[in-house]
Structures are given as C-alpha cells and as structure tokens.
Amino acid sequence: MATKSARVHRFRDSVALSLPGEGETVYMTPAAAVSLARSLAAAAADIGAAAFTQSGFVPVEVDPQAQREADAALVAAFGRGARADSDGGAA
C-alpha cells in the first residue's frame, strides 16, 4: 500500500526518505539530509520571492551517500545523544 505523504525516519545511522507512490525509500547520510533540507528551503523561499520566469533557483543534486566526512562534524557538533528541539535544532 502506497503512502499519501512523504515520510522521514531514522534507520540506524541513516536518514530515510520515502515519497508517495511506488518509489523506493532513499537512505542518506546525516550531512546529505542537511544539504537536502537546505536546498528544499531555498527552493521554497525562491517561490515566495520571485515569479517562475524571474527565478534564480537552479537545480541542486544531493548524493545520498556523499559527505561522510561532514557526518563526523555533525556528530561532533551536536553529539550522538542530541535530540531535536522545538526551535529546529539538530537531531
């Protein structure tokens, strides 16, 4: 049964993303997930700031398994036991 909404969850040390339909779940590194989140936010902000024909947003590719070295920095910055806070802090 296909879901009707996007689903984000943790699987071991990966962030998992499932989209509606018959697509597969994508497992990404924490750093790749942060990069994807920033790209989604930038695209959303561009929609609010400019007409489609005036958009400066360019497509962004995020390799789900890239940036492994950045993952160590995330763990160092937020700690393995850190939890998300209500202000959007790191998980």
Q: Residue 31 is inside which H or E element, if any?
A: helix 30-49
Three-state SS at 40? helix
Predicted TM-score of the model (pTM) = 0.67
**Max Cα–Cα distance, the chain, nearest Å:** 45
**Domain residue ranges in the chain:** 29-49+65-78
CA triple 50-61-69, angle to 5 deg? 125
> pLDDT at position 72, please?
67
Q: How many CB atoms neighbour CB 34 within 10 A?
A: 18
Task: Pull the structure tokens for residue 34.
Answer: 């942060």
Q: List per-residue pLDDT tens for the chain, 91 residues long.
A: 455 788 999 999 899 999 888 778 999 988 889 889 999 999 999 999 999 999 999 998 888 877 666 666 666 777 666 544 434 444 4
The one-character DSSP state at 64 is T
